[in-house]
Amino acid sequence: MARHTPGADDDEGLTPGHELFAPPPSAEGSTTASEPSTGTSPDTGTGTGTSTGTGPRFVAWSHRDADVPAAGSAPVEGVGDDDPAPRSGRRRLAIVGGVVAGAALVSVVVSAVLFTTGSTPFAAGAPTEAPRPTTVARTSSPTASASPSPSPLPTASSSPSPRAATPPPQDASVPAPFVTPVAAGTVVAEADVASPKGSVHFHYRVVAVGDDTYSAELTNATSSLPVPVTAAFFEIAPSVGDGVTYGGDGGVGIDGPTAAPTSASGSFGAVSQPSYLSTLVVYSTSTSSDVPVELATGKVLAVAPVAWSVPARQTNIAPVDSGATAFATGTLEATTASGAPKRYTVAPGDLIDVVAQRFGVSVSALLYLNQGLQVIDDEQHLFEGTTLVLDPDSV
């Protein structure tokens, strides 16, 4: 392949930058008969450059080096003007275009943000303004500078409770409960007692002291037994020959055999209403082991019923049963001769103030009738099974 150099013989319409390709030579290296030529071979650069018949074909082929002028020669006008730019030039143009597009996109985004926030772009050298204050919804507790809430928050004291704790008795508007004591010197029980074999005789009486206490007095007391004996009052009557382990109330002693009638006295202590003690019992108080079995310690020698005549006491406590209700569902166990409530048994869940309301008395009155009454927890539940005294004459 040979490069064609433009010259004076280029009058066949060949343009600079195009090359001539001759068909490959035959195997013999000579031109065939069908390919006659005149003049000199194109490789020599001489001759007319014309061909007859079916000579070599001219094929246009673009070569970039043809656009480059030779060293030292002036550039040929029009040569290479229509050719595309070199690859490195196109790459630089692409990078510059990408940068310009990115800057335009950033400008659009900034403008959108400024528009949505209500701000405006600042001109060069223009004074800046502080952003307008905006209202922000608060989810936390207000500060001291915040405006007070129209509706105050509820305080702990206003929160409802399933049931408020029962306060201590506050009966300022209700008179304090009272039961007038039996007048001092009033005899409330009196009788003569004799053992079955006649070994012990005495006269007893129970006398009011005047402060809701009583004393027992024995007069004309005689005994022929070789052991000391005691007369006391019991709630439950034993039988003669039984043994007692409890000394009873209002006990009065006779020390051994007596040569003449004697007197003795004893106190009931804290018993303010002795009428529940229905039996007078005489029993041995010997401490010797050298006595017959019938006279051993605790052996019952005599039993006598007691007829009480305690006068009615003045009181401002008048219980009336209004029937079972919530928190006061216990059972009324006894009534007085007039039908008034006398004793009440506590049921599960009973509350002291509700029980008092059921019987129309104050809590302090209920406590007055039942000294040492115990309750549970702040709501003051009563102990299940407790027996409450409701009759003032029973205390």
Q: pLDDT (tens digit, 9 = 90+) per residue, 313-365? A: 899 999 999 999 999 999 999 998 889 999 999 999 999 999 999 999 999 99
Task: Collapse the DSSP code of 253 into the 3-class scheme (helix H, G, I; strand E, B; otherwise coil) and give the result.
Answer: strand
Cβ 53 vs Cβ 35: under 8 Å: yes
Residue 130 has pLDDT above 70, yes or no: no
Alpha carbon of residue 314 to chain centroid: 53
Q: Which residues contact 379 (CB under 8 A, 6 or more apart)?
A: 163, 165, 166, 351
Q: Give the CATH fold of the 331-394 domain.
A: Membrane-bound Lytic Murein Transglycosylase D; Chain A (3.10.350)
Tokens of 214: 């009583």
CA distance 59 to 97: 39
Q: Who wins on pLDDT, 143 or 181?
A: 181
Domain(s) labelled CATH 2.60.40 in the chain stretch across 187-305
Helix or strand (DSSP H, E) at 175: none
CATH of 187-305 given 1.25.10, 2.60.40, 3.40.50, 1.20.120: 2.60.40
Which pLDDT does position 382 carry in this prediction?
96
Q: Which residues contact 274 (CB under 8 A, 6 or more apart)?
A: 188, 189, 206, 214, 233, 249, 250, 268, 308, 310
Cβ 325 vs Cβ 379: under 8 Å: no
Task: Collapse the DSSP code of 355 into the 3-class scheme (helix H, G, I; strand E, B; otherwise coil) and give the result.
Answer: helix
Domain(s) labelled CATH 3.10.350.10 in the chain stretch across 331-394
Mean predicted confidence (pLDDT) in 90-95: 65
CA distance 191 to 195: 13
Cβ 51 vs Cβ 38: under 8 Å: yes
- Per residue in 107-119, pLDDT (tens digit) is 776 666 556 555 4
CA distance 148 to 142: 8
